[in-house]
Amino acid sequence: MCGIIGCFKKEGCYDTLLTLLHRLEYRGYDSAGIAVLSSGRKTLTVRKRKGGVSGIEGRRIAGETGIGHTRWATHGAPSDRNAHPHVCGKFALVHNGIIENYLSLKEELVRGGAEVASDTDSEVIVRLIEKVYTGDFFAAVAAACKRLQGSYAIAVLCKDAPGEIVCAKYKSPLVAGASDDALYVCSDIPALCGEAEYICTANDGEFIRIKDSKIVFCDEDGAEISKVFERVSPVLRAEKPQQGSFMEQEIREIPRALAETYVGLKGLDFAVCARELRQTKRLFAVACGTAYHAALAFKDAVERDSKIPVLCHTASEFRYRKPLVCQGDVVVAVSQSGETADTLEAVRLAKNCGAYVIAVTNIEHSSITGLADFSIVMRAGPEIAVAATKSYNCQLLCLYYLAAQLYFYKNAQMPAYYSQLCLLPEAARAAFDTFIPMRILAEKCKSARGMYFLGRDRDVRTAAEGALKVKEIAYVFAEGYAAGELKHGTIALIEEGFPVIMIATNSALTGKCENALEEVRARGAYTVLFTQDEGAMSKSCADFKCLLPSVCEELMPVISVIPLQYFACRMCIERGYDPDKPRNLAKSVTVE
């Protein structure tokens, strides 16, 4: 969740650290800090405080080597004392992850006379390093890591070793980067784009040393590990919009993202996984949050057309339910960042059970692509706003394309919707016509204490995603339900003015959807209808109606969600909040 950065730059690293921390801020913005080590004076200067990265800006700190951190709190409330870097003796440390045995380690350190200065789990790491240090910087870090249980990506400075950063990685992402004038370590590949020309990701149990103007990967004994650096594209870098929020900008990028993702899919050789797709008798899909809604849409498409069962699991529960995964099964893992901790653990379990894993992600050199047997890398581009928008639309496109490939290898022909996948970018652009009505609807609903999003069949997935967006950034209780479930408890909460939003894109079920609207309207609800069917809209009892652009019904979830994404964004703004930085959330969920 947290963002960590390390930098060695001969002409000074301070400005670079701040720039990269600003790019990492979507990983957490509870507090921020930097530590800079000057080789000339061997001074370690630390600046940290509660709040965003802008709070630590100030007079430039001299020094060639530095580390930085932007925090999403796990242990200890957001505060100056809990902010990273944590310092003990000659050492400063930043950490992303969770140390599960920190309480026992903390008790041991306190018994030994340590005066713990924060409420975090991270502080125990730097205190362990200081405790075992006898002059060998790397050996002290490696020895401390042997005591840790949980997940971590750490970057450490030592006053005795100017120009050196020692890093370690276990179940939290860590990447090294290099350019002509600087060396980096970072928890996030997109943050390095535009700074580093070459990158290389660390595997679990590996260490990274920046020393003598070089980057070296090594094992816990210090033995060098041969690694290959790859050139990274600067296009992954996101520029701050001239006006408005990142979320608004990213919604407007959906047509471009879909078009580029479609081109990428057309160039992908699915024959590599043809045998697995042809022979499989069932599939699993694992994901979290928004990506889980995309996985459910994939389930709908595969079961409808290929008649193969797809067992969808939230990744956070998958490995604890002892799933019946075995040799011959295909597991589809969906993660925007490719670093979602729960999804990665689900993938590891699936592979241990002999399953074939297909990853759908937005980051090519991510942890999940390193684990998967086959990867579908969408081209949504960088997504900075914490709430996913364009990445969800691209996930749907990738998953529908995968479902079509599965159908082809089973039936020697493509499903009917395949020919219309190319029409999605233009339909998405047409959906922008709904934005003015969405502004009006957001203004009408901004004082609501709660709302329902309803749908039937594939529209249930869109309803769930629309509700999630409102919860995430507007802080209004919202739930997505199957419309037929209203009478089984849900309708009890309907009262005068309660917004009920119906997504009805399945022509065979529009009558059923209209019945549900009639039922809640009779009880005082403020009813809203989204449909591409002009006839159904003209006959509807809904108080507010929105006409959607039309593509074939199987693909409507890619398009029908766009006005809901924008509605949530406008609700957030109407209520006075920042859509890019919702409270308590972070973009890349790298801890359980």
Concatenating the DSSP letter of every residue in 489-504 gives TGGGG--TT-EEEEE-
pLDDT of 581: 87
Q: Which helix (H) or strand (E) segment is 199 a member of?
A: strand 198-201
pLDDT of 2: 85
pLDDT of 242: 66
In whole angstroms, give the CA distance from residue 316 to residue 349. 12
pLDDT of 1: 66
The residues facing 314 across adjacent strands are 287
Closest CA to 96 of 119, 122, 76: 122
pLDDT of 355: 96
Residue 2: active-site member? yes
pLDDT tens-place values along the chain, 592 residues long: 689 999 999 888 999 999 999 888 877 789 999 999 998 777 899 999 999 898 999 889 999 999 999 998 888 998 999 999 999 999 999 999 999 999 999 999 999 998 899 999 999 999 999 999 999 999 999 999 999 999 999 999 999 999 999 999 999 999 999 999 999 999 988 888 888 999 999 999 999 999 989 999 999 999 999 999 988 876 555 566 767 899 999 999 999 999 999 999 999 999 999 999 999 999 999 999 999 999 999 999 999 999 999 999 999 999 888 889 999 999 999 999 998 989 999 999 999 999 999 999 998 888 999 999 999 999 999 888 999 999 999 999 999 999 999 999 999 999 999 999 999 999 999 999 999 999 999 999 999 999 999 999 999 999 999 999 999 999 999 999 999 888 888 888 899 999 999 999 999 999 999 998 999 999 999 999 999 999 998 999 999 999 999 999 999 999 999 999 999 999 999 999 999 988 888 766 766 6
Burial 169-183 (b: 16+ CB within 10 A, else e): bbbbbbbbbbeeebb
Residue 52 DSSP SS3: coil
Active-site residue identified among 48, 169, 171, 587: 587
In whole angstroms, give the CA distance from residue 376 to residue 373. 10
The alpha-helical segments, DSSP class H, found in 244-353 are 246-252, 254-266, 274-279, 289-305, 315-318, 341-352
Q: Which residues contact 314 (CB under 8 A, 6 or more apart)?
A: 286, 287, 288, 292, 342
pLDDT of 588: 67
pLDDT of 461: 97
In whole angstroms, give the CA distance from residue 200 to residue 185. 10
Could you tell me how far CA 500 lies from the centroid of its own chain? 29
Measure CA of the first residue to CA of the last residue in the chain; give whole Å: 10
Instruction: Please give the single-letter amino acid code of residue 54.
Output: S
In whole angstroms, give the CA distance from residue 115 to residue 112. 9
Active-site residue identified among 2, 200, 569, 572: 2
Tokens of 564: 């809901």
Residues in the chain: 592
Closest CA to 92 of 54, 66, 117: 66
In whole angstroms, give the CA distance from residue 43 to residue 63. 9
Torsion 6-12-18-19 (CA) sign: negative
Distances (CA, A) of 266 to 255, 277, 278, 348, 395: 17, 18, 20, 28, 15
Q: How many CB atoms lie within 10 A of CB 60?
A: 11
Angle at 469 between CA 467 and CA 471, to 5 degrees: 70
Pairing of strands 450-455, 477-482: parallel
DSSP 224: B
